[in-house]
Amino acid sequence: MSGPQVALVTGSTLGLWLAIVQALCQGFKGDVYLRAWDVQRWAMVVEDLQREGLKPRLLQLDITDPASIQAARQHFMKEPCSNDIAEEELMALMKRFVAEAKAGDHVSKG
């Protein structure tokens, strides 16, 4: 498919979520979206990441609300993007994340 690749991080515990987002923003060649049902709360986290020189994008999405899911779908239908990611690229990012986590790189950030 044509268009940039997209990663959508749907969340976990804040520390793990934040570390994954940071790793993706540093090494993934596409757009990194953060799923948030409470945009005001997560907008501050995005601003902190932007101050670090990262460029995550915020997507309001409540996975329990069909209207919210439809709105997110419409957003991605309008955005030119690819829905594929090379397995090798994903594995390389995850291996780097695991190595950084083992080295303690993400301990202070989450």
Average pLDDT of the residues in 40-66: 86
Q: Quote the pLDDT of residue 21.
A: 87
34 compared with 93, residue with greater pLDDT:
34
Ramachandran angles phi, psi of 60, nearest 5°: -75, 120
- pLDDT at res. 51: 94
Domain boundaries, the chain: 6-109
Query: What's the confidence (pLDDT) of residue 85?
Result: 52
Is-above-0.85 flag for pTM? no
For 27-53, what is the mean pLDDT?
Answer: 86
Mean predicted confidence (pLDDT) in 77-83: 62
Rama region for 53: left / alpha / beta (φ>0; ψ in -120 to 50; rest) = left
Is the pLDDT assigned to residue 90 strictly greater than 90?
A: no
Decide yes or no: CATH 3.40.50.720 for domain 6-109: yes
Rounded to an integer, what is the distance from CA 58 to the centroid of its chain?
Answer: 8
pLDDT reported for residue 30: 85
Q: How far is the C-alpha of 97 from the C-alpha of 106, rounded, in Å? A: 9
Side by side, the strands of the sheet bearing 57-60 are 6-9, 31-36, 57-60
